[in-house]
Structure 1
Amino acid sequence: MDQAEREQSQAQPRPEEPVTSIEEDGAMTDDKWKAMMDVTMAIYDFREPDGHDPSRLFHRSVNKRLVPDYQDIIKEPVALSILKQRINKREYKQFSDFVRDCALISHNAQTYNRPKSQAYEDALVIKEVFHDQFKKLVASGVISAEEAKYPDLGEIPEADPLPDDEDEEEEEEEDDEEDSEDEGRRRKKPGPKPGFKRGMKDSQKQEPDLRKKRGRPPRVDTPMETRIKTILKGIRKFKGPGGHLKIVHFERLPDKAAYPDYYMEIKEPIAIDIIKRKAKRKKYNSVDHFMRDLDLMFDNAKAYNQSESQIYRDAADLQGDARKLAEQEKKKPDSEYLMEDGRFPLPNGILHRGELWKVGDWVHIQNPNDVTKPIVAQIYRTWQDSENEQWINACWYYRPEQTVHHFEKHFYPNEVVKTGQYRDHRIDEIVDRCFVMFFTRYSRGRPRDLAPDKEIYVCEARYNEEKHKLNKIKTWASCLPDEVREKDYEMDLFDVPRKIKKVPSPIKHLLKDDAKETDDLPRPTWGADNAPPVVGAVHRRPRDENESPPPEPTPSPPPTLPPSAMASATPRQSMNQPLLGATMVNSGNAGAAPLQTPIPALPVAQTSPAPMPQATFQPPMNPQMYQGPNQRRPSNFVPQTPTSVYQSTPATHQYSAAQPTPYAAPYSTNRPHAAAPVYNPNAPRAVEVFHLSDAANAAIPADIRQQFHCDERGHPELAHSLKYLARKEERQKHVAERKRKREEEEKQRADEEKRQRVSEETVLEARVEALAPRAIECMVKQVVTGTDELYKMFYHNQADSVRAADLKSRESRILADQLARLTTSQILTQSKKE
């Protein structure tokens, strides 16, 4: 990350600051410190052509509370915020140290994340940006080529293979699979039954391993879902005049690099693969809801393409055909969509024993092998068969003692592991409710509204029954049914998160005395058909590279001294020794149990000091990186892992990428700082031109060569063809004309509204002007009438004479005032003249 930032800052030279030459001894100069910060800020500002910010996942360090295994894999975590902090504190001794930190950002992301994940792809992008920025710094003379050289951080380890029992279904199903489901619902073909192998003895035909084969929940589609699938399958069959399938244009969205203008003009891009994914995830609540997305896809194609193009015509034809198919499907009764085996889906759940059991519920199911250990499972399907008997399909979770694992494996108390077993059970086989929590939330609280007597389990891993491996779950959402993946449950949090200590395997005692690392994997002991193993097994085979070692044993506390010895300790010694004990408790291994009792004080003056546990405590280099047992790190960041990992988990933490602080001022207050360039998403894409050699140019036919621009030697420049450029210019004119018409219409509408407002104001003013004299006349009459009433009230019969006298005296006073004002003005005028 640091390197990418450095490259970006280097890409923006400051014209007002002259570049100094590189010092031979590699000392850090002001220009180098400035270049570091510029590169860092350039990474923040970089955007891809579609507006995507590849640095978003690397703004802050990964929170180890949310991604506990990150620091076990990544030994030197680095983030953009760490780069800025080290630059501001002037911690780098030489520029190559900064380059190494930059290289670590992308290297760490590639090491921890899987290829093709968002974090992995973004790391490659910022790595290129770093390289470009460093090249510019070398060219400008700020650093040397040796300083800009990327260090060797080791090879990126090959990604572990996905477990065979990964529950995430493929995002896109093959057409022939869909056809086979609709036509025959996977009709059985003649031949040997599953599990039969040539040369097998009769006693071997029913291998217990058959029960370990991974399954999937059965297809139990509602009539609405079947209608949607029928429409999607129907529009695939329509062909154009040339025999091409019309749907091929709409299978996926256009390439962002080839058609950047598409994403600027089309605000809601959508394609068939997205619609199918939404249908599979059960995002549609009706056929009309589904048709809105289908119409949007065709409308987008018609808006972007010219009306005479083939894509435009195919979109118009398919849109009409899809609407006809939808009307036909909606007219059919739901009874026509029953499955051949008579299954009738119950999407709203099953009412049994006064309780509603629905998809996503965690349940205990009867275990024929051991009634004291019911099967822990989650409901995936609910339906009713032809005999009106109600069924569920549930995914089993094994208990540790039902698995095959290494004899030193440790588990959480009440831990279960997810399996690939999806089994059918009658509704009356459900015993009770329970709950399974992901290990990241298990220690923090308890699900709300869950009865206190219900069992709660913790899950951390998947169980591969083929290879007998436990693979840590990275995405909890992938373990849940589609219907509840985006739903979360409320929790009653504990006052303080519980510290949970893992315990040894409950079947560790089953390890044979003569077990060797070269022995074959043992087999579990099976019992009833529709039940987990009676008991698993343990082995001594070597661990995989990605398998964590067992926790170290808790060191034994020092021997307790008699009271007399404790009393002889000096006050200073008594104060220091408990601090040492507290340090040992906090620095113990994560898997070890914390010491619950304080270590007694030991006197210094001893001939043979008691042995102390070898507990080491190394303070973190960066105080902000250390999280004590009662400290919490702010959660407003996005980890360096794919965003789907956290956005789709049941926990549904509202993670939001912290916005980088604008670089408003340089790190040095006495130096000017140029403003960072503003990203313009509407800027035209640079045209890439390729020049051919003479041999390649001669191999191109003359008629083809004439369709391209040619350089001074007559060689075609393999950019866009003239035909494409002409159509592009025509399209741009068309878009500009439409934009101009819209602006004219908006202007006319605004002028009309303005004229209407002016007209209304004029009418109102006229009315006010007409009513004002009448209002004054009315007011005068009321004043005169009121005055007469007052005179009559106070003077009775003499009211008229008194009023006349008052009026006469008032008129005289007015005349006197006017005379005084006139006299004063004459005196002032005469004085000015003089």
Structure 2
Amino acid sequence: MPAPSDRRVQKAMQSILDAMYDARDKKDQAISGIFEDLPDRKHFPDYYDLVKRPMSLNIIQENIKKNLYSGFTEFVQDCSQIAYNAKLYNRRNSLIYQHACILEDTFRKDIDDLMKAGTIGDIEVPMKTESNPGSPGGGSDNGDDKSEDDDVSDGAKSEYDPEDVPVSGVGTGGKVKTGGVGASQKALETEDDKKKRYRPDLMDLKRRRGRPPKVDTPNEAKIKVVLRGLRKEKSKDGRILFQPFERLPDVKQYPDYYRDIKDPISLDQVKKRLKRREYKNLDSFQADMDLMFTNAQKFNTEGSEIYKDSVVLQKLCHRNIEIERQKDDSEYITGPSSVDMQDSQTPGRMLKMSRLPLESIEHKGEVYRVGDWVHIVNPNDNTKPIIAQVFRTWKTTEGQKWINVCWYYRPEQTVHRADKSFFENEVFKTGQYRDHQIEEVVEKCFVMFLSRYTRGRPKNVGNITSIYVCENRYNEENKYFNKIKSWKSCVPDEVRGTDYEMFLFERQQFPLRVPSPLIPLLPAGAKEGDPPTEMQRGKENAPPTVGSIIPCPIPDPSTLNQAQAEPSPPPCTPAPAPVQPAMKFPPAHLQMQHGGGMQFGQQAAVARAASNPQTYQPAIPPCAFILPQNLGMSEEESKWFLRDEQGRVLWFSTPPVDPVGPASRILGHSLEYLAAKKEIEEKKKRKAREEADLGERKVKREIGRDEAMLFLVKALGVMSGNQGGYRQE
């Protein structure tokens, strides 16, 4: 236990802490509230992933009261930690970051005053100035819980976005209402900044984000208004009535709840359904809310606190729903020109109100929906379109149609070591969520998680010709790769419950690994420890033109796929067998014709049969691929090739299959398999005989038992008769 500090030092600590509690901004508004307590771990789990040593003003106050500081240096380190944590987690442009700077200045000023007065000796204040210009966290809009996709591993670096200023922010404490750009933040703005905030024409519509924008339908906006009203309701003693309904009871603690309640539901389930847009009208939302309150009234005794709260909240819910039902949808779809320019309005809020969500967008004969994978025009390289997934679709009041997408980077657009290898057609999920007009979309594509990519290919994907594989996220801020644990966390809420059909392989097939495509950029004689090559960023609204490679020993390309190679079993007979050419998968730009009946798994079977001719080799129907635009061949040249009904040139992956085959071709199972099969059949026969013998013995025992019982009954009857006769005598 640390030695207690003397009263003089303890008094100095308390005076500094009191000054931090009383810290104010330029508008004379208190700023310490957000730093008094640690953030709620439930609402901000990523805070504790990033911040390794959480600290708050109340923790320091408790340490002073309990006299836990052995010296003034420990106290100074804890005080510095508060501002450090807040600046590490929040954006440089955020309100909390500015308040952390004010708190740090207040702390340093008081330390200097005490040192000048001689109250304390010379103290070295730690320079904890870490900042996070692109915070991965900072709360969520409108008080909603964070999506499963909010993941710090993406390193989502977002510029300051008035729309994305959270209703609840995080310093080292809990939540603080900012209302967009609050009074404290406006104190930091110049007059030019204020004018720019109200100029929609100066806003960057294609700004990068750390998460998709909120694009609510009028119905969803009304539901959120109702939920906010319920969560604000308090009792006379200040207790929040809605808190017990946030989540379901613990199964172990209340097992009888799940026996009595057949359809349990809580606010967590309601919010998930709202995110997935399952509520098409207020009636379906009201039905779930009524079910939640009815469950509480059914399980709890009448007159209990939760029973009374559920009655009050249910009445309030009905009243608020009726109020919202009377409102016209146009109140939630307002163009910027008609917005009242008050201090509470920001460009982000005006843009948000001017978005009308769309179920789908038609463009060049294709229909695009949330969850679709697309190629987008790349301003830096037209030959490498941006790979992205659609997260939002909307149109403005002027009729322009927009999508918000999450970018996926190619290997050559990342920063990596020279010894890193990649799968063919591999891409990486980033934290870049960008807005694009629908005219920037080139075509549809498809991205598969590695675990599914190795088992087959998607069915019914139309004219999609490019299929990519993804296994990792790419943290653009810290330049590292992180394996994706759950693919559902990477896709939009609306499609997490859906799936797609697949052409399955006969067995799992891993794609080939290839060296880094940036190896040619390494200078001659580069060795480990040398500086990485320079990244070429190119234009702003596009991935890097060329990434960067870090010099280190380059692996031998021939060893990259050794772990995936299947060892061939020793031949059963020395008889030679004809070797067939191994069949590779078609390039990404070729479209497969599935009408021939051949699946991708059958292609893999051909490759395996070539390496092991002793295995069973089924007949494989022909398979053809369509060459895009005949690869620039003239009409005279293309006439020598087979074509489909639409005149497109067909390319066959293998020569025609001889249904008879050479006489020396070995068909059937291997000797090892036949020997094992015979042994298994013999075991089954032995087991059947043993079971039959056992059953026969059991029947005999039962017959013997019955005969013994019958004999015993007869014997008892004779004895009873004899005794009766004796009594008569």
TM-score, scaled relative to structure 2: 0.48
> Rg: which structure is higher?
1
